[in-house]
Amino acid sequence: MDAAEFRRRGKEMVDYVADYLEDIEKRPVYPDLEPGYLRSLIPTEAPLEPESYEDVIKDVERVIMPGVTHWHSPYFFAYFPAASSYPAMLADMLCGAIGCIGFSWAASPACTELETVMLDWLGKMLQLPECFIAGTHGRGGGVIQGTASEATLMSLLAARCKAVRRIQAANSKKSESEILSKLVAYTSEQAHSSVERAALIGAVMMRKVPTDKHYAVRKETLQKMVEEDKAAGLIPFYFCATLGTTPSCAFDHLTELGPLCNEENMWMHIDAAYAGSAFICPEFRPLLNGVEFADSFNFNPHKWLLVNFDCSAMWVKERADIIGAFKMEPLYLKHENQESGLVTDYRHWQIPLGRRFRSLKMWFVFRMYGLKGLQAHIRKQVGLAKEFESLVRADKRFEICAEVVLGLVCFRLKGPNELNQELLKRITKTREIHLVPCQLSGRFVLRFAICARTTESRHIQQAWQHITQLTFELLQEAGH
């Protein structure tokens, strides 16, 4: 395919994309097929000779679309939102064309520098404390990670390295493996599975902290565990707080927990993967109070801030902490500006070496929406969640299972878990809307998350209408 054909096919693809997104709600939100469906639809080997573009593109509807879960359908209420906006898609086209691999400043200065400045812009939108802003002389700053899982892992590894060095500085006879075997990390029992996984990767113990009745970690609980562990000869070194847990969007109490972590020399990382976007609205910003005690903070603009996946924003207070954990300098990656002190080589900040020019997406989205446009998006979606909450509260057969703070509503039918499992099964099977469950205090709960950018009140009303219809049938069959 030459440039001329790309011009033609690219324009057709732009129309296909616009058509897909404009008409998405006509498609069943969840696919109706059995595992293994795709293999029989295409050859078992790649073709020897080139095929035509027509042949490829017509297979998109035949092979791909029947197997797509449509995350951008206004009837998709599962997991958490995946961001999508037209400006981000345009920026991604440009990113693909430039196609630089921005592992160091020299590998493409614009890729590195725009990223640093965009993380400053975003940090200011969130009113992050000055220490997280890179500016021209800051010791902190931001980076785009692929996912919150990677941000958590990087923070845990940086904390591990810092703890080992601190302990060895005080007692040079202790071996690294001896120290590692005593390090202990903490996170909420409600934290995302990726936090526990980070500890497995980093080969350190991770203890789950019980939560209060709002599913939040409180200071006393963590303090008690830390004291017990210290008494047992262990070394508490890391706490991952969650703002907006995955099951119920609960918020750990940072203003209590932060000072404790600081006193105990424990790295505090904040995982606000979903909720973080809301902090650009002054009315939600108090949820982030206490961030000043954190060593690192992360949230996903690719969830709720209209920047297409992947774009997970992470800030650290001391860039030396995160860089220091891994800095390696083979000659083929050295460049002459490296020692100037002005240069950021982002490969030291992350697990992968290569990286795309993802800050272009942030730049396009922030400018074309403006802060006000982004705030309007958050507020609209929170409003829709409140609307759904009201519908649930008005129906005595149902209960709300956790406070609705942002765009997630946790609810269930009063009664046994089996009833709710059956309800969800029927919802999934009819494929008009899509939800996933969670577990809260041993109860099987349905999660209703406002996801698509194009979800409106009418979709919420229709979703509730659908749920109550299925509930009616279910309860009738069950003889209620």
The least distance separating a second copy from the CB of residue 452, rounded to whole angstroms, comes to 10
Which residues, 420 to 479, sit near a second copy by CB under 8 A? 425, 428, 436-439, 444, 447
Q: E strand or H helix at 411, and its extent?
A: strand 408-413
Closer residue to a second copy in complex, CB, 14/478: 14
Min. distance of Cβ 112 from a second copy in angstroms?
A: 9
By CB under 8 A, tell whether 210 contacts a second copy.
no
Residue 312, CA distances (Å) to 98, 343, 436 in order: 21, 21, 23
Binds a second copy (CB under 8 A): choice among 234, 323, 351, 474: 351
Contact segment (CB under 8 A) with a second copy among 259-267, 361-369, 386-394, 468-476 equals 361-369
Q: Would you say 92 or 252 has its CB closer to a second copy?
A: 92
Gap between the Cα atoms of 142 and 119, Å rounded: 5
Q: Which of 46, 170, 231, 394 binds a second copy (CB under 8 A)?
A: 46
Print burial letters for 302-336: b (CB count within 10 Å at least 16), e (below 16).
Answer: bbbbbbbbbbbbbbbbbbebbbebeeeeeeeeeee
Nearest to a second copy of 2, 477 (CB atom) = 2
Q: Taking the complex as a whole, how short is the minimal distance between the CB of residue 53 and a second copy, in angstroms?
A: 7
| In the block, residue with structure tokens 């000072």 | 259
CB of 262 to a second copy, least distance (A): 26
Q: Is 94 in the site for a second copy (CB under 8 A)?
A: yes
List 268's β-bridge partners, or say none: 239
237 binds a second copy per the rule CB under 8 A: no
Q: Name the one residue in this structure whose structure tokens are 């934290």.
A: 191
| In the complex, minimum distance from the CB of residue 444 to a second copy, in angstroms, rounded to a whole number | 8
Q: Mask of contacts with a second copy, 47-66, x by CB under 8 A?
A: xxxxx-x-xx---x--xxxx
Q: How far apart are CA 158 and CA 140, in angstroms?
A: 14
**Minimum distance of a second copy from residue 263's CB (angstroms):** 27
CB 17 within 8 A of CB 89: yes
- What whole-number distance in Å separates Cα of residue 72 and Cα of residue 454? 8
The residue among 364 and 398 lying less far from a second copy, judged by its C-beta, is: 364
Asked whether position 39 contacts a second copy by CB under 8 A, the answer is yes
The SS3 assignment for 444 reads strand
Which pairs with CB-CB distance under 8 Å and at least 24 residues apart come from 366-369?
A: 366/118, 366/121, 366/122, 366/125, 367/87, 368/87, 369/85, 369/87, 369/306
The alpha carbon of 10 is separated from its chain's Cα centroid by a whole number of angstroms, namely 30
Q: Which of 79, 138, 168, 466 binds a second copy (CB under 8 A)?
A: 79
- Single out the segment in contact with a second copy by CB under 8 A; choices: 223-231, 326-334, 391-399, 457-465: 326-334
**Smaller CB separation from a second copy, 417 or 468:** 417
Task: Check residue 23 and report its DSSP letter.
Answer: S
Residues 6+ apart with CB under 8 A from 143: 115, 119, 313, 314, 315, 316, 346, 349, 350
Residue 199 contacts a second copy per CB under 8 A:
no
Q: Among 119, 157, 163, 257, which residue interacts with a second copy (rule: CB under 8 A)?
A: 157
127 or 289: CB nearest a second copy: 127
Q: Is 366 in the site for a second copy (CB under 8 A)?
A: yes
- Give the count of beta carbons closer than 10 Å to the beta carbon of residue 342: 11
For position 14 contacting a second copy by CB under 8 A, the verdict is yes
Which one of the spans 150-158, 250-258, 459-467, 472-480 is the region binding a second copy (CB under 8 A)?
Answer: 150-158
Q: What string marks each residue from 159 to 198 as x (binds a second copy by CB under 8 A) or -?
A: -x--------------xxxx-xx----------xxx-xx-
User: Would you state the structure tokens that stand for residue 36, as one six-digit string?
Assistant: 């293994």
Out of 234, 323, 343, 475, the only residue in the binding site for a second copy (CB under 8 A) is 343
Pick the piece of the chain touching a second copy (CB under 8 A) from 211-219, 305-313, 315-323, 377-385: 305-313
The reply on whether position 339 binds a second copy by CB under 8 A is no
Strand order of the β-sheet with 443-449 is 398-400, 408-413, 443-449, 436-440
For the chain, what percentages of helix, strand and coil (3-state, to nearest 5) are there? 50, 15, 40
- Take residue 410 and report the two structure tokens written for it: 């946790």
Q: Report phi then psi at 175, rounded to 5.
A: -80, 160
Q: How many residues in the shown chain lie near a second copy by CB under 8 A?
A: 153
Please list every residue from 110 through 129 that binds a second copy, using CB under 8 A: 110-111, 113-114, 116-117, 120-122, 124-125
258-297: contacts with a second copy (CB under 8 A): none
**Angle, vertex CA 180, rays to CA 175 and CA 184, nearest 5:** 145
**Two structure tokens written together for 243:** 């703002």
Q: Is 146 one of the binding residues for a second copy (CB under 8 A)?
A: yes
